[in-house]
């Protein structure tokens, strides 16, 4: 019996892997996108047809944008597996549906705040809205966003309510000096020298203040929250129940709170601030992801605050180092030599270009690091996709679609991506450069002496690594150790 149960479980796993993530049926003419995700051809083409013409071609799963329509090739391996499953479906008594995809209707991407509540991938009823991606998803299409720990809210929540009114960025900081909620850009203005903490820390501290001063209120709130959770569990078990409100109104603690409304309490300034935080955090605001900004190059970002909140100290990966690159003992400095090191063979090792990547790999959140180039006259510093090839001439930083970097040649600087160079105005001989990676916003901001030199844009919600290329003999490039 155990063997039979195991067989059924294995078949279930196989069927799940052979199911289109849009129509939830077995693949019909499966095709694969460059990002690695597969779909029925008709499901994908229908999704693209319903989007605006200038919106590009987007993967319905990971949301990667392709400026030009990718060449759609039939995935023969998946197609053959699907056919084998259909032939053997009777062996295990499985019901395998094979639809004609006539009912697939993928909605056009909706703007933040619309009252519609349908999944923007498959048109089924939406369960949540992803804040950083600004997309409505059903329960099944939430999985990629949950795996990346994206902020999820109820479908009816308007994204703009969670953003800074002045800069349009997500609220993620709290100023203790004047009790205001802030985005990261606000730290460069009147709050420059203020005591600023992360929103989660402020929320916890102010919640403790309220709990200590009014313990009975805290206990009542917890009791009501517990009973509400119980009601929600009952609702999930018995769909269509229409007496939830009546049951809620009969709860003793809820009645007590109605007879003694909170406004009669003498709240201090801090408690009023907490009330604002709780209102903003009503959908369990934990880690709001940073939103995009129309003209980030015009905003003066404070590097001190970037170091404080998002500072990272990358270490180099010896397994990726070209044989003419020597790595220091603390794994922070890469030096070019004209003699080859006797490194062992490794699939991650660069074999043509004198390059090395970091051990650190980012695919979500915000990260800031600095690179010291004073000991190199000719180098490239930036990031590359973890999937970028390590072998051959096409693996050079900036020379392909999978890498972005600053290019230094003596005192001349340029931004370099996909073989396209953009000259930069960098006065003087800079010794240190900063990089602020915002994965959800798809931005890599490059700094030189507190100036924004350039902003790269791309899909940085797939794994990326800081990277270094050293051209000049005996030249060195160093990852700076940042102490928060």
**Closest by CA position to 198, among listed 300, 268, 288, 130:** 288
Select from 119, 152, 122 the least CA-distant residue to 136: 119
| Amino acid 278: pLDDT | 46
CA-wise closest residue to 362 among 421, 295, 435: 435
Fold observed for domain 2-159: Herpes Virus-1 (3.30.40)
Asked if 211 contacts 222 with a C-beta cutoff of 8 angstroms, the reply is no
d(CA 211, CA 232): 25
| Residue 216 structure tokens | 């009975």
Non-local (6+) Cβ contacts of 10 within 8 A are none
Could you state, in order of their start, the residue ranges of all structural domains in the chain? 2-159, 173-236+247-280, 296-479
Tens digit of pLDDT at every position of the chain (484 positions): 444 444 544 566 667 778 887 777 888 899 988 888 888 988 888 877 766 555 567 887 777 777 788 888 888 888 888 888 777 655 544 455 544 444 444 333 333 334 457 777 777 788 888 776 667 888 877 877 776 667 778 887 766 566 777 777 777 788 888 878 887 778 777 777 788 887 767 777 777 776 676 666 666 666 666 666 666 666 556 556 555 555 555 554 444 444 444 444 444 444 544 444 444 444 333 433 444 333 333 334 678 888 888 899 999 999 999 999 999 999 999 999 988 999 999 999 999 999 999 999 999 999 999 999 999 999 999 999 999 999 999 999 999 999 999 999 888 899 999 999 999 988 777 889 999 999 999 999 999 878 899 999 999 999 999 999 999 888 999 999 987 5
Q: How far is the C-alpha of 129 from the C-alpha of 142, rounded, in Å?
A: 9
Those residues with Cβ within 8 angstroms of residue 424's Cβ, 6 or more apart along the chain or in another chain: 406, 413, 414, 415, 453, 454
- Range 296-479 has CATH code 2.60.120.920: yes
User: How are strands ordered across the β-sheet holding 378-385?
Assistant: 355-357, 464-470, 378-385, 403-409, 412-417, 420-424
Contacts of 328 (CB under 8 A, 6+ apart): 334, 335
Instruction: Record the tokens describing residue 357, joined without a space.
Output: 């990547």
- pLDDT at res. 292: 39
Q: Tokens in use for 82? A: 């699907």
Evaluate whether 480 touches 369 at the Cβ level (below 8 Å): yes
DSSP-assigned letter for residue 404: E
DSSP string for 67-110? SSPPP-EE-HHHHHHHHHHHHTGGGGT-------STT--PPPPP
Cβ burial, residue 70 (10 Å; 0-12/13-18/19+): middle
- Residue among 160, 122, 152, 156 nearest 140 (CA): 122
- Residue 386 phi, psi dihedral angles, 5° rounding: -60, -25
Q: Which run of H or of E encompasses 137?
A: strand 135-137
Same fold for the pair 2-159 and 296-479: no
252 CB-near residues (< 8 Å, 6+ apart) = none
Give the C-alpha separation, 389 to 316, whole Å: 17
Residue 114: CB atoms within 10 A of its CB come to 13
């Amino acid at each position: 019996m155990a063997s039979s149960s195991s067989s059924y479980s294995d078949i279930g796993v196989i069927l799940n892997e052979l199911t289109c993530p849009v129509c939830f049926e077995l693949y019909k003419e499966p095709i694969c996108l460059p990002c690695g995700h597969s779909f029925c051809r008709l499901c994908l083409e229908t999704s693209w047809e319903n989007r605006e013409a200038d919106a590009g071609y987007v993967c319905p799963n990971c949301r990667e944008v392709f400026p030009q329509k990718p060449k759609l090739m039939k995935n023969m391996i998946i197609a053959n597996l699907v056919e084998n499953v259909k032939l053997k479906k009777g062996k295990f008594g499985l019901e395998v549906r094979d639809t004609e995809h006539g009912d697939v209707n993928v909605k056009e991407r909706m703007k933040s705040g619309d009252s519609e509540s349908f999944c923007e991938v498959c048109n089924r009823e939406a369960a949540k809205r992803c804040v950083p991606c600004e997309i409505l998803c059903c329960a099944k299409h939430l999985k990629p966003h949950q795996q990346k720990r994206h902020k999820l809210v109820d479908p009816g929540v308007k994204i703009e309510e969670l953003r800074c009114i002045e800069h349009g960025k997500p609220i993620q900081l709290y100023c203790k000096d004047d009790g205001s909620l802030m985005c990261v850009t606000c730290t460069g203005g009147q709050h420059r020298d203020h005591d600023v903490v992360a929103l989660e820390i402020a929320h916890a501290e102010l919640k403790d203040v309220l709990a200590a001063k009014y313990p009975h209120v805290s206990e009542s709130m917890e009791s009501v929250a517990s009973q509400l959770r119980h009601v929600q569990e009952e609702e999930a078990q018995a769909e269509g129940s229409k007496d939830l409100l009546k049951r809620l109104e009969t709860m003793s603690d809820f009645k007590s709170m109605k007879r003694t409304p909170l406004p009669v309490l003498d709240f201090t300034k801090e408690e009023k601030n907490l009330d604002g935080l709780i209102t903003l955090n009503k959908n369990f605001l934990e880690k709001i992801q940073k939103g995009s900004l129309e003209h980030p190059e015009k905003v003066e970002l404070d590097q001190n605050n970037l170091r404080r909140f998002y500072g990272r100290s990358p270490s180099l990966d010896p397994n990726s180092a070209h044989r003419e690159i020597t790595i220091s003992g603390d794994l922070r400095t890469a030096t070019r030599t004209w003699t080859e090191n006797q490194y062992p063979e490794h699939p991650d090792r660069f074999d043509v270009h004198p390059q090395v990547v970091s051990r650190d790999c980012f695919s979500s959140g915000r990260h800031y690091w600095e690179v010291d180039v004073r000991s190199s006259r000719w180098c490239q510093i930036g990031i590359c996709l973890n999937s970028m090839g390590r072998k051959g001439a096409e693996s050079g930083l900036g020379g392909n679609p999978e890498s972005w970097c600053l290019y230094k040649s003596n005192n001349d600087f340029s931004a370099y991506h996909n073989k396209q160079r953009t000259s930069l105005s960098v006065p003087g001989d800079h010794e240190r450069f900063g990089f602020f990676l915002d994965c959800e916003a798809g931005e890599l901001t490059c700094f030189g002496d507190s100036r924004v030199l350039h902003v790269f844009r791309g899909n940085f919600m797939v794994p990326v690594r800081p990277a270094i290329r050293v051209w000049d003999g005996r030249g060195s490039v160093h990852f700076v150790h940042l102490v928060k």
